[in-house]
Amino acid sequence: MKAFPFKRVLITGGAGFIGGCLVRRLLRESNSFIFNLDKLGYASDTSGIDQCLHDITNDSAKRYQLLHVDLCDKNSLDHAIELADPDLVIHLAAESHVDRSIDSPKAFLDSNVLGTFNLLESVRSHWQKLPLARKTSFRFHHVSTDEVFGSLGESGRFNEKTSYDPRSPYSASKAASDHLVRAFNHTYDLQIVITNCSNNFGPWQFPEKLIPLVILKALHLESIPLYGDGLNVRDWLYVEDHVEALILVASKGVIGSSYCVGGYGERTNREVVNQICSIMDLRKPVDNLHSELITAVRDRPGHDKRYSIDSSLITSELGWTPKYSFKDALILTIDWYINNVEWCNKVSAKGDYAGGRIGLNKP
């Protein structure tokens, strides 16, 4: 990694899927001290980071500290910020699964809205006390989603000027957090950047999300649920490409700006599920085609039809483009899940997730 300019980095949500990938990348490729603040919720697991700490030198491993803190606990949060004394905060901690936000929206308001507000308050107080040089170079990077923009028709793409139109409790809570972050920039001059990224996939993702869920169902020869007509479109991005974008924006993004990050990987859910099944036919051949396991199930309430991202700003300003093709990244991901079934069983049991349907708004 070319000259990562921050000595002390606080990452929130580093025990989750994307945060974990970011923590590992920074431990391997920078000299920064990394503080991973996480409440260690149902989707958290630090096995990937533990493996990384084992693989790097002892001196590098000493640059890492886990802070078990809930953003809703303001006192503990203040202490954690004081201890970490960060030059950069990358904020990923959030409740992140749309289906769960349909069943239990309040947890999303607590973590994503109140949690972000608490973090902004703690960070503002820390930042205001920094000596001038550190204060000037300080950054708060808020990691958000393309879902804040709502749903597209057949054509068009989201970009940085697209109006907000969130339509699920998850996306509404993320939109609220984006607005709070911008408000702290306009009102207090806190030096913020925001990224709005499309759907991620890759190793270490909790098994409730579409791609790992389908891989595991196919592997266990269980019925593979396809929501509605399967024609909802998502713009898939490999997690390593997202992390690359986060590092670039944190280091070089223009203060006060937001950047849309997408994979130019638009596909219907049906195409994604079929492609996973075709790869599984080669990797784990059985008598029947894996696609025969696909079963249409009731659609997600309020299911957004299409997301697509125009990433031209981050490409022209910062030189970012995705390095992985969808197919290559999907093969890497499928092979990883085939080789890590034990991990999947462990985190599913820990998170009390048995692979069943959630998000139907049942009373």
Residues assigned a catalytic role: 146-147, 170
Q: How far apart are CA 21 and CA 247, in angstroms?
A: 11
Pure H helices in the chain:
17-29, 47-55, 58-61, 74-84, 98-103, 105-108, 115-128, 132-137, 169-188, 210-219, 239-252, 269-283, 312-318, 326-339, 341-350
Gap between the Cα atoms of 181 and 90, Å rounded: 12
Nearer to ligand NAD, 241 or 293 (CB): 241
Per CB under 6 A, 115 contacts ligand NAD? yes
| Residue from 26, 36, 95, 192 binding ligand NAD (CB under 6 A) | 95
SS3 label, residue 143: strand
Contact code string over 8-27 relative to ligand NAD, x by CB under 6 A: -----x-xxxxx--------
Which listed range, 92-100, 308-316, 336-344, 355-363, lies at the site for ligand NAD (CB under 6 A)? 92-100
φ, ψ (nearest 5 deg) of residue 150: 90, -140
Is residue 223 helix, strand or coil? coil
- Comparing every residue's Cβ against ligand NAD, the nearest one is 16
DSSP one-letter string for 284-342: S--SS-GGGGEEEEPPPTT---B--B--HHHHHHH-----S-HHHHHHHHHHHHHHTHH
Residue number with CB closer to ligand NAD (6 or 17)? 17
Q: Between β-strands 266-268 and 233-235, what pairing exists: parallel, antiparallel or unpaired?
A: antiparallel
User: Using the rule CB under 6 A, is 311 a contact of ligand NAD?
Assistant: no
Please state, in angstroms and as integers, the Cα–Cα distance from residue 191 to each residue in 37, 139, 164, 264, 315, following that order. Answer: 20, 5, 22, 29, 22
In whole angstroms, give the CA distance from residue 132 to residue 127.
10
Question: Is residue 265 close enough to count as binding ligand NAD by CB under 6 A?
Answer: no
Q: State which residue, 71 or 329, has the beta carbon closest to ligand NAD.
A: 71
Q: Does position 44 bind ligand NAD by CB under 6 A?
A: yes
13: left (phi over 0), alpha (psi -120 to 50) or beta: left
Q: Is 38 in the site for ligand NAD (CB under 6 A)?
A: yes
Would you count residue 200 as binding ligand NAD (CB under 6 A)? Answer: yes
Q: Of residues 47-76, which lie at the interface with ligand NAD (CB under 6 A)?
A: 70-72
Judged by CB under 6 A, which of 33, 149, 206, 227 binds ligand NAD? 206
Q: Does 41 bind ligand NAD (CB under 6 A)?
A: yes
Choice between 127 and 206, CB closer to ligand NAD? 206
Q: Of the ranges 196-204, 247-255, 287-295, 320-328, which one interacts with ligand NAD (CB under 6 A)?
A: 196-204
Q: Which of 10, 34, 197, 214 binds ligand NAD (CB under 6 A)?
A: 197
Min dist CB 206 to ligand NAD, Å, is 6
Find how far residue 222's CA is from the centre of its chain: 27
Q: In degrees rounded to 5, what are phi and psi of residue 46? A: -110, 15
CB of 114 or CB of 331, closer to ligand NAD: 114
Contact footprint for ligand NAD (CB under 6 A): 13, 15-19, 38-41, 43-44, 70-72, 92-96, 111, 115, 143, 145, 174, 197, 199-200, 206
